[in-house]
Structure 1
Amino acid sequence: MTFTPTDYRPYDFANRRHIGPSPAEMQEMFKVLGVKDLDELIDQTVPKILRQEKPLDFGKPKSERELLWFLRQVAKKNKVFTSMIGQGFYGTVTPPAIQRNILENPAWYTAYTP
């Protein structure tokens, strides 16, 4: 018997595993932060230049199972190609003297040199 993601919809609730803060907890958080609501908190933390005015179009909501099924379908389209950069990775060992005196020496990666 084959099941589709929508067969599980009545039983697929993320809130069984995660329930966000209650309205009372949100009000307490706002009080501690000194803001009146979530909009004011966002105004104080996210610069206007980073905000998008129009709402994002995510399509219809998906259950967790539907999303995992969708992601698996997308992942099946991936193709593995041969890496041509340096003919791959070679597990080399950096000698401790090089590591200590060059890679771990702050004079190479900071402006401060005593």
Structure 2
Amino acid sequence: MSPTAGIQSLLIKTEAAALDAALDDGLPEDVLDTPRAYLVRTIKAVDNYRLGPDPSGIALVGDLQMRMSALLARLDKCLPRSSVETSMAQARPVLAEIVGAVPQLLEDVKRLDRFISPLAMWD
């Protein structure tokens, strides 16, 4: 089993949740909850990935963190706030962006396998 299988699974669940949310016409705060939760879990899983001492792996993790955090920030802007009302029509392009970004994120996460720390097997 791949060391990044858990991260890959979370990304696939994020993509599925974003697709389901795009088809729902409910309130944005209710509909966007599941894709947002999976995206946050994915970010935390990447944050906790045990890297070896390789600058390329560190750069790859930083790039993944930056791209996923940007998607999360865009998704958070679709949630209603005290003075701003939002709708699912505004959230659908962001959900489509998440769905479109997942295949490339999966490829990059698979590349992390070769950068795992040798000490990670004792976790």
TM-score, scaled relative to structure 2: 0.24
Q: RCO higher in 1 or 2 (8 Å CA, sep ≥ 6)?
A: 2
**Greater radius of gyration (CA):** 1
Question: What's the TM-score once normalised by structure 1's chain length?
Answer: 0.25
